[in-house]
A and B are shown apart, each in its own frame.
Chain A
C-alpha cells in the first residue's frame, strides 16, 4: 500500500477519545507500528530542519540589498539607485560592502537574465547578515516573487497568467506560503512537506510543523496542521494550568477537569464548526504530554540571543531543536513572523529601527545551530508579501512585486546573489511594469522551494505535489538543480527523474 494511505489510516485510528491519562501508553503502541513501508520520499535517517521567517507587510528589500557600483568598470549601480529612489536612498558610504569568500563574482544572473550590477552592499544596520554572507553561509535571492508561469516583459504581463490579487497584502502573503498564486485554497508548502515526510518522526501527536506565530498558511497540510507554541519555553507552560494547590484533592480534580475538557471535544459533532474546533482541541491536547516531557531536557546555550521578539522566537526554536531527539523528530519545519514592514511612510527610520532586529536574531540563530553541531542541517529562509515600489511616495514606498530574500545555513552556498538583480530604473527596463517601479520576478518562489525540497529529502517524484506549478519553471534532472544555492554534496537525492502525481489548481 502507498505510504500516504497508510499514514491516513494510522492517523484516523490513533487518536479516538484518548485522554491525557492514556496518551503515553498509546505512544508505545505507535513506535512499533510506524515506519517501514515502501515510499517514494524515503524515510530520512538524519535530522533536517527548515525555518521560515515571514517578514509581514512587504519588506522594502531594495534598501536591504543595494548596488554600490560607482561607475567602476561600467557598473553604475549606485547612481542608478539613488536617481530612482530619491529620498529613500541610503548614502553610499553607509552601506556595508559584500564580498564572496572565494573571491567569485557576487552575482551571475539566472535563466538567461544577467545581473544588472556587479558590486553590492547591504543596509548599514545588518552587520550580522553581512558577516554571514561574506563567510559564505548566507545567500540572497534577487528579484524573486510570486509567479504562476514565467513572464518576460510588459506585453506578457498583460497576456500571461498572473498571481491573484497582485499587490494586495492578504493574497501575496498567502501565495508566498502556498506557491500557488492562482488559487486561494491551496495548502502551504510546509504543510505539503509534512504530508510527505512526517513519517520520519516517531510521535504522531507532535506535529512536524511548529509555529511561533500561531496559525499560518505555510504549515497547513492536507492531513497535518501546525502546533503553536509561545517563545517562553518551559515545561510548566505546556498544557492547561492546574487548579490551585489549595483546593482539596486538587490533583485529582485537575485530572477530572482536563478529562472532561477532553471528553467534551471528543464527542461527535454534526455541526462542522464544532467539529473543527474539537479537532483542533484534540490535536493540541494530544501533543501536551510529549512536548512537556521533552522541554524538561532543553539544553543550555552559550549563544546569546537578542531579547527582541524575533530573537526570543528564534531562541525558542533553537531550544526545541535542542530536544529533537526527545521529540523523536527527524524532520521539523518552524515558522515565525515579524511584522511592521509595510512602510508607506518613514521608511528610512523604519528600516533603521527594524532591520537590526532581523540581522541580530538571524545571526544568533545561525550561531546556535553551530553550537548544536548541526549548522548544515538547518536552513533558514525569509519570505515577505512583496518588495516595494522603487520610487518614493515621499519618505515611503508602496506595494510592488519582485524583491530580494535570504537563505541561510551551513548547507547554503553563500556569498552569492542568486536570481537576477534588476535594473534600478523605471524607464527602459523590460521587467518593470509601471511608472512607480514594480518588477516582474525573474525567479519564482517555486524554484526556491524546489531546491529546498530536494535538500530536505523530497524525491523528484514528489516535487510537484509540493509545488504544483513547478513544471512551468523547472524539470528535474540529476545534478540539475533549480537555482544552485544548496550544496548537495553528500545528500542523497533520488535519481528517479519522473515527477508524477501533480496536483492541479
Chain B
C-alpha cells in the first residue's frame, strides 16, 4: 500500500491534490491511505517534474485561473485569465505584489475639484479657487472607480478594499461630504496594503479621518476637578476591531477557554480607561493648540499633531496674565493588556502612543485576528483552523524574522491549498457569498467596461441605493457585516459563518436584481456625473457595455457557448448543467433575427443581456467557491 500510490492531478476543476507548500513548511500526503512523510520525487532529473508536483510549477487551466482572479482581484476578464494560465499563479502574484501604488485618490479628487473650478472660471470669469469653490463627497466615488478600473495593481485594490472593511472609516459621519477626507484615508490603506501591520496601524491612528470618526480628535487629559475623562471610543475600538478582539485566541483563530470552559476576555474597562489616556493630545496637523478647529478641507489630509501641553487658553486669550496651562496629554503610567507604559516627562508623551501600538501589535491575538478577517474577505467565510494557523504563522514571522508582513500574508492566503484547491463538492460550507459591491465590480471587469477618453465619472449611486454597499459607506465602525454573522437556515444548523448574509434581506435581494436590470438591460452601468451645473453633457462619452463582440454566439445553436463564455469569466465555470439549461430555455424563447446571415443587433443584444442577468442571479455565481 505504501509504495503504490496513484498521483492524480485533475485539471477540469483546477483541483490540486499534491503539493508541498514551500513557504509554509508543511508536508501533506497524497493518494490512497494517509501516510505521513511521503517524499515526492520525479523519475527524470529535470526540475520541471518536481515543480509540476509543487505549487509553483503548476499552470492552472482557465477555470482555475478565473477562480484565482475572483479572489485576488475585483473580477476576472478574458485577458487576465489568459495571463494567469500562461504565467501561473505565483508569477502573477509576485508581479502584482511588486507593482507600486501609482494612483492617488486624493490627487484625483483634487483634479476633479480643479477641473470644476477652472471650468467655472472660464465660463463666467471670476476668481474661484479650490478654497472658495466647494467639493462634494462623490468626488471620492468617481476617483475610486477610476482608479480601480484603470490601475494595473489589481491585487492591491482588492486588498485595500478588504482592509477598508476592517479598519473602518465611513462617510456616514461628519466629514461624509469631504472627498479629501475619504480619499486621503483610502490612500493610507492603498499605500500600506503590502506593507507592515505595525506601520498600517500607526498610519490609521494618525489619520484625521479616523480621529474624527472615532472621536479622539483633540482628546484631552483628565480634568479631575471638572470630572471630565478621556474619550474611550478609540481605545475600545482599536482593541475590539483593529487588533486583538474581545476574547483570547489560539493561533488558529479558535477561542481559548478557562478552567470552567468560559471564554477569556482580552480586556476589561480598566484597560480601556488606561488606553484612553494614551490617545490624548492629538489634534489636526495644522492646529495651533489642542482643541483647535480644522483649518479647511485639506486638514483631513494631514497627519495628526501631538500636543503634550494644552496652551489653548494662552493662545486664544493672549491678554491674560495667568492663562491656564494644563497637560493636554495624560501624564503617568498606563497599564493595559498586561503591559505597562512607564510614566515619562510630558514632552515625550507621544512615545506613549508608539509604545501602545507596539503592545497592541505584539499581542498574540493579532495574527489570527487579522489573518482570519483577510481570509474571509478574499477566499472563504469559514476557513479551517489549520488554514488560519498557517497564515497567522506567517503573520507572526514571514520567514525572515519580520512580524506583520502583509505582503507575505496576502501571498500566503492566496497560494494556500485551501484557497487554490477547489474542494467544492466535498465540504458543504466552502466559499463565500460575494459582497454586493464586489458583484458590481465583477460585472464591470468581466465585461471590460470602457469609456471614451478613459474617464468614467462614476458616482456609484445605484449599487449603494439598491444593495447598501459601497467603499467607505459602512453604517458603523462594525462594517457592513460582522465576521461572526450566522444567517438562519442550514448554515445556522451547521454553526458556520456567512458574514455577507447580514446584508441579504428581501429588500437588498430585490434591489440587487433591479440594479442588474439597470446595469444590463438598460445598459446603464455607470452613474455618469457632470462635475458642475451647466457642464455640457456628452452622451457619447457615457460608459456602457459593448456586447457586439458576443452577437455571433446568440443564434440558438451557439447559445451554450455564449453561456459558457460568461460562465468562465463571471462564475469560473461553476454554473451547473441545470442552471445552464434554465438560462438557455429562457433565451431560446426570445426573438432572434438574422439579416444577411448576421444577427440583428437589437435582438442579439437582448439575448446577451438576458444571459448575463440570469448568470448574475444564479446561486452558482453568487456563492464563490
Contacts and interface: CB of A to CB of B under 8 A. Distances in A.
Contacts of A24: none
Contacts, number: 204
A272 B490 contact: yes
A355 B506 CA distance: 30
B586 A214 contact: no
Interface string A237-263: 001110110011100110011011101
Contacts of B240: 168
A170 B502 CA distance: 13
Interface in B560-604: 576, 578-579, 582-583, 585-586, 589-591
Interface stretch (A274-282, A318-326, A447-455): A274-282
Interface residues of B, number: 82
Contacts of A342: 233, 476
A276 B489 contact: yes
Interface stretch (A26-34, A90-98, A226-234, A478-486): A226-234
B215 interface: yes
Given A276-B501, A396-B231, A257 B614 contact: yes
B510 interface: yes
A276 B505 contact: no
Most chain A CB atoms below 10 A, which of B215, B236, B240, B246: B215
B498 interface: yes
B455 interface: no
Given A170-B478, A345-B231, A275 B490 contact: yes
Interface stretch (A38-46, A139-147, A364-372, A386-394): A386-394
Contacts of A267: 576, 578-579, 619
Contacts of A436: 229, 273
B434 to A, nearest CB: 10
A165 B226 CA distance: 30
A87 interface: yes
Interface string B498-523: 10011111111110011001000110
Given A87-B228, A261-B617, A273-B432, A339 B622 contact: no
B625 interface: yes
Q: Taking each of A167, A244, A273, A434, which has the highest tally of chain B beta carbons within 10 Å of its own beta carbon?
A: A273
A18 to B, nearest CB: 16
B468 A264 contact: no
A241 B617 contact: no
B94 interface: no
B144 interface: no
B66 to A, nearest CB: 18
A214 B214 CA distance: 25
B482 interface: yes
A264 B582 contact: yes
Given A167-B236, A215-B504, A280-B505, A391 B229 contact: yes
Contact of B517 (A241, A275, A394): A241
B191 interface: no
A434 B432 CA distance: 42
B579 A394 contact: no
A277 B517 CA distance: 20
Nearest to A259: B586
B357 interface: no
B486 A185 contact: yes
A171 B505 CA distance: 21
A394 B231 contact: yes
Contacts of B503: 214-215
B439 to A, nearest CB: 12
B610 interface: yes
B606 A247 contact: yes
B220 interface: yes
Contacts of B220: 394
A398 B231 contact: yes
A273 B272 CA distance: 37
A165 B506 contact: no
B102 interface: no
Nearest to B381: A273
Given A280-B505, A280-B509, A339-B476, A241 B514 contact: yes
A339 B478 CA distance: 13
A227 B506 CA distance: 6
Given A229-B507, A247-B606, A276-B487, A261 B513 contact: yes
30 contacts: A168-B246, A184-B484, A185-B492, A214-B507, A214-B508, A215-B501, A220-B488, A228-B505, A244-B522, A261-B513, A263-B582, A264-B618, A270-B425, A272-B428, A272-B491, A273-B623, A274-B620, A275-B490, A275-B491, A277-B622, A280-B489, A280-B509, A284-B509, A342-B476, A392-B229, A394-B229, A394-B231, A398-B233, A434-B269, A435-B229
- By Cβ-Cβ distance, the 8 closest A-B pairs, closest first, are A284-B506, A228-B505, A344-B215, A228-B507, A393-B231, A274-B619, A345-B215, A398-B232
Interface of A: 56-57, 84, 86-87, 164-165, 167-171, 184-185, 211, 214-215, 220, 225-230, 239-241, 243-244, 247-249, 252-253, 256-257, 259-261, 263-265, 267, 269-281, 283-284, 287, 339, 342, 344-345, 389, 391-394, 396, 398-399, 434-436, 438
Given A276-B487, A391-B227, 5 more contacts: A241-B514, A243-B521, A257-B586, A271-B625, A276-B489
